[in-house]
Amino acid sequence: MTYSPEPTIILGGGFAGLFAALHLSHKNYPHPIILVDQQERFTFNPLLYEFLSGEMGEDQICPRYEELLAGSGVKFMQDTVAGIDLRQRQVELASTTYTYSNLVLALGCTSCYLNVEGAQEYSLPFRTGTQAVTLAKKLRDCLENATKITDAEERRMLLTVAIVGAGPSGVELAATLADLLPIWYRELGGNGEEIRVVLLDRGTEILAGGPRGGVKSALLAAANEALATRHVPVELLLETTVNAVSQNSIKFTRHDQTQELAAATVIWTAGIATNPLLEDLPISSAHRDQRGRLQVTSTLQLVDFPEVFAGGDCAANTIDSHPPTAQVAYQQGRAIAHNLASIAQGKEPAPLHVKVSGTLLKLGLGESAAQIFNRFEIKGKLGHAIRQATYLELLPTPVHNLKATAEWLVDDIFHHHYNPAHLPGVVISKEA
């Protein structure tokens, strides 16, 4: 099946892919636009913690693509990508094959279990709305079963959650659960202080996998403090290598000693891998990074196939590298749309200049830390309000209500409205 003119195909409906489609639909683009994703719903990953806790609903965090694209002219295909032929400019889906004029690769990444025995079988990932629902059900089942158990050792196992990986996702999840699970357990008549949340990582400190290889020291201190002061303190096991995961335990080596922790719930946030579909593309190792991601030019085009764009976890810009965060992927999607429209008009594509305005961390229910412009750190409830407002501003909306979300809300706050140092009751640290 082909179109005349041939369509632009966007593979992957994450931040880069979805926003490329939405922005492109506003530009009088002459080619049909087709967005392909395996899932029915978009997942707004930064707010999955709010979905898990019930602070926000499914339709807010995981809206359907059909609703997001209604009236945009973008065709959504819920389908599986079976193959990509860059030389023939064809994409093979499970249901049909398209020949494209331009292709956007925004396929995201997959979980990487680092060859740890049993990790894929017995640990739970936390990357999508469906996975959040699965995790919530598992946790509630464990809590309910614990109220019926008289054996102290078995109850302790049911009430223990082990999180592997102390990067931003692991830290945010640990802080959320350390506040949330005691509340859930008390509602069932249990003693919330029996809950254990254990965070394991092979590094020497938390957040080593944050933006640009790490989070600024002030935010690191705020995160460490938050983990220690939740409803139940998060237990940190650093310099720890996980050896195996089983149905009710996790084995690890720490300080040359092999240990085993009884835990009914093990959550895996330790690593990501490049989408396997990228491995078969005719791209040499010279045009890939160490993770296998595709090297792109400053205009987000592939070096050998300029009709193909890549963004998000698929793309590697070796000259101007940025972390694959939501704000970066959003800007990539917008830039891809701009460049596709420019090419269609016979103009030259423009290089992307990413603006990273800050780092936001959820550090418990109703609390966050926000580091703005690498200068200001705001903690507590105001930090949480800034985080929520920032992400709510980025939430995709139906195209007729699509806002100009290129600038972070905090940018507007800090540049145009007030000096945060003048706010009463705000804890702010300023780096030199």
* Residues 259-276: tens digit of each pLDDT: 999 999 999 999 888 899
**Does residue 353 sit within a domain?**
no
Q: Which residues of 297-321 are buried (b: 16+ CB within 10 A; e: fewer)?
A: bebbbbeebeebbbbbbbbbbeeee
pLDDT value, residue 359? 82
- Of 231, 249, 270, the position where a domain reaches its end is 270
277 and 394 co-located in one domain: no
pLDDT value, residue 406? 31
* Long-range contacts, 187-190 (Cβ 8 Å, 24+): 188/143, 188/144, 188/147, 189/147, 190/143, 190/146, 190/147, 190/159
Site of tokens 């959550």: 267
Q: Pick from 74, 1, 68: which is nearest to 35 by CA?
A: 74
* Residues 18-63: tens digit of each pLDDT: 999 999 999 989 999 999 999 999 999 989 999 999 888 888 889 9
Torsional sign, CA 9, 14, 16, 19: positive
308 and 297 co-located in one domain: yes
266 and 202 co-located in one domain: yes
Which domain range does residue 14 map to? 8-45+62-110+273-344
pLDDT value, residue 208? 80
Strand partners, 372: 358, 376
**Does residue 349 sit within a domain?**
no
**Does residue 56 sit within a domain?**
no
Vertex 14: Cα angle to 12 and 15 (nearest 5):
130
How many CB atoms are closer than 10 A to CB 61?
A: 24
Phi, psi for residue 123 in degrees, rounded to 5: -105, 160
Q: 10-residue block means of pLDDT along the chain (432 residues)? A: 75 95 94 97 92 88 92 96 97 97 94 93 95 96 97 97 96 97 98 98 84 58 94 98 98 97 97 89 93 94 97 84 80 97 97 83 90 73 83 62 35 36 33 32
pLDDT value, residue 403? 36
**Does residue 404 sit within a domain?**
yes
Q: Does residue 91 contact residue 9 with C-beta atoms inside 8 Å? A: yes
Phi-psi region at 265: left, alpha or beta (left = phi > 0; alpha = psi -120 to 50): beta
Q: Does residue 30 contact residue 5 with C-beta atoms inside 8 Å? A: yes
321 and 415 co-located in one domain: no
136 and 234 co-located in one domain: yes
149 and 237 co-located in one domain: yes
Q: What is the distance between the alpha carbons of residues 50 and 57, in angstroms, rounded to a whole number?
A: 8
Q: Does residue 403 contact residue 352 with C-beta atoms inside 8 Å? A: no
**Does residue 54 sit within a domain?**
no
285 and 371 co-located in one domain: no
380 and 248 co-located in one domain: no
Q: Pick from 294, 384, 309: which is nearest to 352 by CA?
A: 309
pLDDT value, residue 217? 60
- Of 270, 303, 332, the position where a domain reaches its end is 270
94 and 147 co-located in one domain: no
Query: Can you give the CATH number for the domain in which 149 is found?
Result: 3.50.50.100
- Of 270, 298, 313, the position where a domain reaches its end is 270
Q: Does residue 170 contact residue 48 with C-beta atoms inside 8 Å? A: no
Distance of CA 42 to the CA centre of its chain: 12
Is the link from the previous residue into 424 a cis peptide, with omega within 30 of 0?
no
Over the chain, what is the mean pLDDT?
Answer: 87
Q: Does residue 46 contact residue 326 with C-beta atoms inside 8 Å? A: yes
pLDDT value, residue 57? 86
Count of positions (residues) in the chain:
432
At what angle are helices 217-228 and 168-187 packed, to 10 degrees? 20
Q: How many domains does the chain have?
A: 3
Q: What is the distance between the alpha carbons of residues 131 and 289, in angstroms, rounded to a whole number?
A: 29
69 and 85 co-located in one domain: yes
pLDDT value, residue 9? 98
124 and 265 co-located in one domain: yes
* Residues 311-342: tens digit of each pLDDT: 998 999 877 677 768 888 999 999 999 999 99
pLDDT value, residue 212? 40
Vertex 253: Cα angle to 250 and 255 (nearest 5):
145
Q: Pick from 337, 326, 328: which is nearest to 355 by CA?
A: 328
Q: What is the distance between the alpha carbons of residues 145 and 204, in angstroms, rounded to a whole number?
A: 35
Q: Does residue 315 contact residue 337 with C-beta atoms inside 8 Å? A: no
**Does residue 326 sit within a domain?**
yes
pLDDT value, residue 2? 44
**Does residue 308 sit within a domain?**
yes
Distance of CA 70 to the CA centre of its chain: 25
This prediction has a pTM of: 0.87
**Does residue 191 sit within a domain?**
yes
211 and 186 co-located in one domain: yes
Query: Can you give the CATH number for the domain in which 302 is found?
Result: 3.50.50.60
